[in-house]
Structure 1
Amino acid sequence: MPTLLTYVLLPFAWLYAGIMAMRNWLYDRGWKPTTRFGTVPVLSVGNLRVGGTGKTPHVAWLVQELRQQGQQPAILSRGYGRRTNGFRLGSATETAVTLGDEPWQQFTHFGGQVPVAVCENRLTGLHELLRQQPGITVVVLDDAYQHRRVQPDFSVLLTEQQRLFYHDYVLPAGRLRESRAGAARADVVVVTKCDPALPVLEQQQITQRIRRYSRPHVPVFFSTYAYGVPVPLAAGELLEQEFSAEIVLLTGIAQPGPLREYLREAGYQIVYHAEFADHHAFTAEEIAALKTHYEPGRRIFTTQKDAARLLDPSLHTEMAGLAVFYIPIAVEFLADGANRLRQLLPAAIQPQAVV
C-alpha cells in the first residue's frame, strides 16, 4: 500500500518518469541511435525495478539452455561494484573486485567455459567481446533492460511476485527505473521468486495485470528458486563434520528474505544475521565483528554472490579457520514454463538483418 511519503514524492516521480519517457521516445523514433548486431543475436535480461529480481540465476538458466541447444553463448554485464573501468574479460586472474561479484559468479559457475565480460558501455563491450571471442554465437546482456543503445533480438523482463512492477511507482516515490509502460518492450515476462504452490487462478490474474502494460499475447512465465546443498567456501571443509543447527547468516544482496525463510524452514536456527546492502564490499573489520557471533559447531552461511566477495585477498586473515558455506540457487519454472521458454529460444537467436 502507498504511504504518505509515496504521495509526497509523486511529483518528483512524475518528473523522472517524464524524462525517461522522452528518452525512450527518442530511441523509439530513431532520433537517438540504437544498434542491432546482425549475425550475432543479443538477448537482454533485466527489470523495471531497482533491486534484486533474480537476474543472475535467470541469466545462468538461459546460458545453460543455449549451450544445450548447441550455441556458444557469452555474457556481457556492466560489472556493477567493481573497482576497475573499461572492458575486462573474465579469466583466472580476475576477481570479484576487478570483474564485479555477479560476473565473477557467472564465470566460476560455468568453470570458465562461458566467456564473461564487463564494460560500462555495452556497445563498446559487444564489439570488443566479439573481437576477442570470434566463436561466440549469441550474447546475453545482464541487467540491460534500460540500455537502449543496443537493440536486443529478444528481451526478457523479470518482476518479483512479491514486488510486481504494476504495484510500484517510479523513483523516488517507488523503486521503478521507468514507468510501467516500459514493459511493452519485453518479448517475455518472467514472474520470479514465486511460491512453488502459486495457484493457477492467481497466475492468470497476474498475467492479466501484466498484459495491461506489455504487448498483447506476450508469454508470461512463473519461476521459483531451488536451493541446493550448502557448499564449503574453503577446500576441505566437509558437511559431514559435526555442526549444530545454529548458523550465522551473512548477506550483501537486495532481497535476503527468501533465503532466510528457506533456511528456517530447512531447520536451521539463525542466531545472527549480518545484513548489508546489495554488492557490499566486505571489510576485515566487518568479518571480525561477525566472528563475535561465531563459535565452534556453528557455521556461517552466505549466498554464492557474497561468497565471491569473501574470497578477496584482504579478507584472508580474518576468514581463516571459519566454517563458511554458500547456498547455491537454481531457477525452476512452474508448470510447463521451462519447456515453453525453451521452445522460444531457437527463433529468438536467429540472425536478424542489421537496422
Structure 2
Amino acid sequence: MRWLLLPFSLLYGFIVILRNKCFDWGIFKQSTFPIPVISVGNITVGGTGKTPHSEFLIHWLEEKFSLALLSRGYKRKTTGFLEVQEHTHVSQVGDEPLQIKQKFPDILVAVDEKRKHGIEQLLAFPNKPELVILDDAFQHRHVLPTYNILLMDFNRTITHDFMLPAGNLREPAFGKARAHCVIVTKCPRNLPETEMEMLKNDLNLKAHQQLYFTAFTYGGLIPVFNNIPRGDSEPGLQGSTVLAVSGIAQPASFYKYLQSLGTGQLIKIEFPDHHSFTGNDTLALKLQFEQIAATKKLIITTEKDAVRLRAVASKEVLEKLPLFYIPIEVFFLKGEETKFKTELLKAIKAE
C-alpha cells in the first residue's frame, strides 16, 4: 500500500520544498521580534514529546523571564487568537495548551493558528512576555525563532522515512538543517553510547548543531477528579488489573511503563489522537471496568487524556471510578541538561 502512495508523496514533497525555498530566498517574509522566541517542533506526524519538552522549558525559564506559550490549539473548535484560562473548555483551545495553563497558571498561554499574529497580540498585553515559546512551530516559518529545537522520536527516526502520505514526514529530513539543536526523545534510560554515536552519524548534523538525548520519567498516580484524596492517590499496582485508556498518537511507551510496574492484566482501550470523549465513551469505560472480575482494579490514563476526560459532559459517571493519570517529565541522558541550558541561554542573551 505504501508504494502506491509514493507518487503523492513525491508531489507533496515538491510542494513543501518549493515553499521552504521561497522562505530561504526571501520571497515569503519571516518576522522577528524584540524578544527571544523559542520554537519546539518536529518534522514527523504523531507524538515526539513536544508538550513535555515545552513544560521542561517553562519549569526552568519561568523563574528567569516573564513567559508566554503560544500554540495553534490543535483540534480546537475556535479560530484566531484566544488567551487560555485555567477553566477554559478544552474544545475552545485544545488539550495541550489547557494542560500547560493548568500546570503553570502564572504564565501567559494563548492559541493562534497564525503565529506571527499571535506573538503580536501577546506583545500588546499590559503584562507582555519577555520570552515566547512556540509549540509545534518548526514548519511555521513566518516567524524566525531565536532558537529552533527539533524533536525526533528514538523509535521513528527521520532519516529512514518517507514523506506523507506514504510515510510520516511533514517535510524532507534535510529540513533539520534549520534546527539549532536536535533532541532524540523517548530514549531508553540505559541507551548505550555506541548507539548514540550511530544515531549521531546517521543524522549527520552540521558543526554548529547540538545533539541531545532525552527519556521520560513518570510521576506517581494522580486522581483525574477530586473524588479520591491526594494522600490515597498511590494504590498498589502490583498484580492489579489495569484498564489503560489512551487517546494519544504513540501510546506504546505508556503501556510499557505500566507493565514495568508489575501490574497484572493490562487491558488497553485506544482512541484516536486528541479524541474528544463523549457520553457514550464514558458509559463504555464504566461498563468495561465493571466487567473486570478482579477485586484489585483501576483505570489509568495519560495526562493529556485526563484534560479531555475532565471536560466530558457526563463526567459524573467517571467521578465514581478509580481513575488516575500519570504525569511525565523529561530527563537528559549523559548528564547533558546543564549543557543544553547553557547553549540555549547563550542564544537568548545574544538576541
Between the aligned partners of 2:36 and 2:311, the Cα distance in structure 1 is 35
Query: Any idea what SS the aligned residue of 1:269 has?
Result: coil
The question of 1:27 aligning with 2:23 is answered: yes
The question of 1:159 aligning with 2:152 is answered: yes
Corresponding residue for 2:346? 347
The question of 1:85 aligning with 2:84 is answered: no
CA contact (8 A) 1:272 1:293 kept: no
Gaps of 5+ in 2: none
From 106, 113, 116, the counterpart of 1:120: 113
Which is bigger in relative contact order (C-alpha 8 A, separation at least 6)? 1
Letter in 2 for 1:142: D
From 185, 190, 210, the counterpart of 1:219: 210
Corresponding residue for 1:299? 298
Shift of 1:290: 1.4
- Identity level (%): 38
Letter in 2 for 1:177: R
Aligned residues: 343
Corresponding residue for 1:247? 242
Shift of 1:215: 2.7
Query: Any idea what SS the aligned residue of 1:196 has?
Result: coil
Gaps of 5+ in 1: none
Between the aligned partners of 1:86 and 1:118, the Cα distance in structure 2 is 8
Query: Any idea what SS the aligned residue of 2:101 has?
Result: helix
Letter in 2 for 1:340: K
CA separation of 1:137/1:62 partners in 2, compared to 1, >3 Å: closer, same or farther?
same
Letter in 2 for 1:61: F
The question of 1:106 aligning with 2:97 is answered: no
From 278, 282, 293, the counterpart of 1:283: 278
Corresponding residue for 1:326? 325
Letter in 1 for 2:25: R
Deviations 1:308-352 (CA, angstroms, capped at 9, x unpaired):
001115132322301110000000010122111011122222363
TM-score computed with the length of structure 2 as normaliser: 0.94
CA separation of 1:7/1:116 partners in 2, compared to 1, >3 Å: closer, same or farther?
same
TM-score computed with the length of structure 1 as normaliser: 0.93
CA contact (8 A) 2:70 2:135 kept: yes
Query: Any idea what SS the aligned residue of 1:21 has?
Result: helix
CA contact (8 A) 2:122 2:128 kept: no
Between the aligned partners of 2:5 and 2:235, the Cα distance in structure 1 is 53
CA contact (8 A) 2:39 2:136 kept: yes
Shift of 1:31: 0.3
Letter in 2 for 1:40: I
Letter in 1 for 2:246: T
Residues 17-56 of structure 1 mapped to structure 2, 5 A cutoff: 17-37=13-33, 39-56=34-51
CA contact (8 A) 1:138 1:349 kept: no
Corresponding residue for 1:11? 7
Shift of 1:289: 0.9
The question of 1:65 aligning with 2:65 is answered: no
Between the aligned partners of 1:99 and 1:269, the Cα distance in structure 2 is 37
Residues 110-259 of structure 1 mapped to structure 2, 5 A cutoff: 110=104, 112-132=105-125, 134-211=127-204, 214-237=205-228, 238-239=232-233, 245-259=240-254
Between the aligned partners of 1:126 and 1:248, the Cα distance in structure 2 is 41
